[in-house]
Amino acid sequence: MTREERQSQQALLELLVETGEGYEREIECDRELYQVIALDAKDVPHSRITAKRAASLLSEAVRKKSDDKLNAKPADTARPKPVRTKVASRAEAGAQVSAVSH
């Protein structure tokens, strides 16, 4: 195996790991959103969040994520850098969802 082949293989492995980590971060964000939606539905007496409202909140989150990706600057180097996202605390996210849904 040549040096170039090893470097190429290493770069592909790094990309695979970074992709997996990115998926894990997205799953964590989705899980937080689902928890906020569930907690919001539970905390409001005699009220339920509708499937349409939940879908609206989810599509809004996806749209924001897509906008963030479109506005991102291309990397300076050939190797992509890991992307860090800020996950709002449950209290912050709950306040945002409550403000939007009420």
pLDDT tens track for 10-51: 999 999 999 999 999 999 888 888 877 777 776 655 556 677
Averaged pLDDT of the chain: 75
Q: Return the percentage of the chain with pLDDT > 70, whole number.
A: 62
Q: Which two tokens stand for residue 96?
A: 């945002």
CA atoms of 44 and 58, how far apart (whole Å) = 19
> Residue 61's pLDDT band (boundaries 50, 70, 90)?
confident
CA atoms of 74 and 37, how far apart (whole Å) = 34
User: What is the model's pTM?
Assistant: 0.39
CA atoms of 58 and 35, how far apart (whole Å) = 12
